[in-house]
Chains A and B, each alone.
Chain A
Amino acid sequence: MKREKEMKRKRWQTTILLAVIIVVTYVSIAITEFNVLTGITAIPQAIGWMFSHLLITQESLAKLPSILEKLNETIFMSIAATTTAAAVSIFLGLMGSKTTRVSNVLSVLARFIASFSRNIPVVAWALILLLSFGQNSMTGYLALFVGTVGFLTRAFIESIDEVSGSAVEALTATGATYFQIVNKAVIPQSLPQMISWILFMIETNIRSATLVGILTGTGIGYIFDLYYKTMDYNTVALVTFTIVITVIAIEMASNYIRKVIL
Chain B
Amino acid sequence: MSLLQVKRLGKSYDLETKVLKDISFDVEAGEFVSIIGPSGAGKSTLLRSINRMVEINEGHVIFDNNDVGSLKKKELRQLRTDIGMIFQHYNLVPRLSVIENVLHGRFGYKTTIQGILGRFTEDEKERAFYLLDKLGIGEHAYKRCDQLSGGQQQRVGIARALIQDPKLVLCDEPIASLDPNTSKIIMDHLQSIVSELNITCIVNLHQVEVAQTYSDRIIGLKAGEIVFDGPTPWLTDDRIHHIYGTETRELITG
Determine whether the beta carbon of A189 is less than 8 Å from that of B95.
yes
Cα distance A181–B104 in the bound complex, in angstroms: 9
Q: Is B199 an interface residue (CB 8 A)?
A: no
B residues within 8 A CB of A169? 53, 87, 91
Determine whether the beta carbon of B107 is less than 8 Å from that of A184.
yes
Q: Which of A170, A173, A179, A181 is within 8 Å of B92, CB to CB?
A: A170
Q: Is B249 an interface residue (CB 8 A)?
A: no
Cα distance A189–B93 in the bound complex, in angstroms: 7
Q: Is B77 an interface residue (CB 8 A)?
A: yes
* A-B pair number, CB within 8 angstroms: 88
A residues within 8 A CB of B80? 172-175
B residues within 8 A CB of A166? 87, 89-91
How many residues in B have their beta carbons less than 8 Å from beta carbons of A?
36
Of the candidate stretches B34-42, B109-117, B131-139, the one touching chain A is B109-117
Q: Is A167 an interface residue (CB 8 A)?
A: yes
A residues within 8 A CB of B164? 174-175
How many residues in A have their beta carbons less than 8 Å from beta carbons of B?
21
Cα distance A172–B164 in the bound complex, in angstroms: 13
Known A-B contacts A174-B108, A174-B160; A167 and B92 likewise in contact (beta carbons under 8 Å) = yes
Determine whether the beta carbon of B112 is less than 8 Å from that of A175.
no
Q: Is A176 an interface residue (CB 8 A)?
A: yes
Q: Which of B51, B96, B109, B115 is within 8 Å of A173, CB to CB?
A: B51
Q: Which of B81, B83, B106, B160 is within 8 Å of A170, CB to CB?
A: B160
Chain A 184-197, CB-CB to B under 8 Å as 1, else 0, gives 11001100100000
Q: Is A54 an interface residue (CB 8 A)?
A: no
Residue of B nearest to A191 (CB): B95
Q: Is B94 an interface residue (CB 8 A)?
A: yes
Q: Is A183 an interface residue (CB 8 A)?
A: yes
Q: Is A177 an interface residue (CB 8 A)?
A: yes
Cα distance A183–B111 in the bound complex, in angstroms: 13
B residues within 8 A CB of A188? 93, 95-96
For B81, B105, B109, which residue has the most chain A Cβ atoms within 10 angstroms? B105
B residues within 8 A CB of A184? 93, 96, 100, 104, 107, 115-116, 118
Cα distance A184–B96 in the bound complex, in angstroms: 9
Q: Is A250 an interface residue (CB 8 A)?
A: no
Q: Is A214 an interface residue (CB 8 A)?
A: no
Q: Is B78 an interface residue (CB 8 A)?
A: yes
Determine whether the beta carbon of A180 is less than 8 Å from that of B116.
yes
Residue of B nearest to A177 (CB): B112
Determine whether the beta carbon of A174 is less than 8 Å from that of B81.
yes
Residue of B nearest to A181 (CB): B107
Q: Is A171 an interface residue (CB 8 A)?
A: yes
Known A-B contacts A166-B91, A167-B92, A173-B53; A183 and B160 likewise in contact (beta carbons under 8 Å) = no
Q: Is B159 an interface residue (CB 8 A)?
A: no
Cα distance A184–B92 in the bound complex, in angstroms: 11
Q: Is B158 an interface residue (CB 8 A)?
A: no
Q: Which of B83, B100, B115 is within 8 Å of A183, CB to CB?
A: B115
A residues within 8 A CB of B100? 184
Determine whether the beta carbon of A176 is less than 8 Å from that of B104.
yes
Q: Which of A170, A177, A180, A189 is within 8 Å of B85, CB to CB?
A: A170
**16 sample A-B contacts, Cβ–Cβ < 8 Å, listed by A number:** A170-B92, A172-B80, A173-B51, A173-B84, A173-B85, A174-B105, A175-B77, A175-B78, A175-B80, A175-B108, A176-B107, A179-B112, A180-B107, A180-B116, A188-B96, A189-B95
A residues lining the B interface (CB < 8 Å): 164, 166-167, 169-177, 179-181, 183-185, 188-189, 192
Given contacts A166-B91, A171-B107, A179-B115, 11 further A-B contacts (CB under 8 A): A164-B93, A170-B157, A170-B160, A172-B80, A174-B160, A175-B77, A175-B81, A177-B115, A179-B116, A180-B115, A188-B95
